[in-house]
Amino acid sequence: MASAAPARDPNCVFCDIVERRAPAWILFEDEHTMAFLDIFPFTRGHLLVIPKRHGARLTDIPFEDQMRLIRSLDEICRRVEQRLTPHYNVALNTGANAGQIVFHVHFHVIPRYGKGNPFGAGSRERLDETEARKVVSELSPA
């Protein structure tokens, strides 16, 4: 069955980790997914959850692999909750302008130990109603 064979990219460091060609602090692995510590952690326990199949973004991988990824994310989040802290961010950077630097889809799980809003850098303005209507209409099905 073709979908069982994970696609890989020879220039991708996360594919290298999946194949054990690059080192990683692996936390979890099953047939389709893997979780390992981020090499430049924002906080203690900052980790990444990835599909073994290569794809730059969530929408590049088959739906079944997305579901498997969420299942593993759930497993890892439960571990973080029980063993580190119930406070954490889950992030998925998609595209260079969103901060993506490794183009193999990965969820960040970033445990939080202190107070404060991790997204709180800089000033933020209240959502404008006209703009809100526009965005809702642009993102709604035709």
Could you list the residues that contact ligand AMP (CB under 6 A)?
Answer: 13, 22, 24, 38-40, 48, 93, 99-102
User: How far is Cα of residue 61 from the mean position of the Cα atoms in its chain?
Assistant: 13
Residue 104: what are its φ and ψ, rounded to 5°? -135, 120
- Specify the amino acid at residue 64: E
Give the active site residue among 32, 54, 106, 108.
Answer: 106
**Cβ count near 87 (within 10 Å):** 15
Q: Are 105 and 51 in contact (CB under 8 A)?
A: yes
Could you tell which of ligand AMP, Zn ion, none binds residue 54, using a CB distance below 5 to 8 A set by kind?
Zn ion
Closer residue to ligand AMP, CB minimum distance, 47 or 65: 47
Asked about 32 being catalytic, the answer comes back as: no
Could you tell which of ligand AMP, Zn ion, none binds residue 12, using a CB distance below 5 to 8 A set by kind?
Zn ion
Residues lying near Zn ion in the complex (CB under 5 A): 9, 12, 14-15, 54, 104
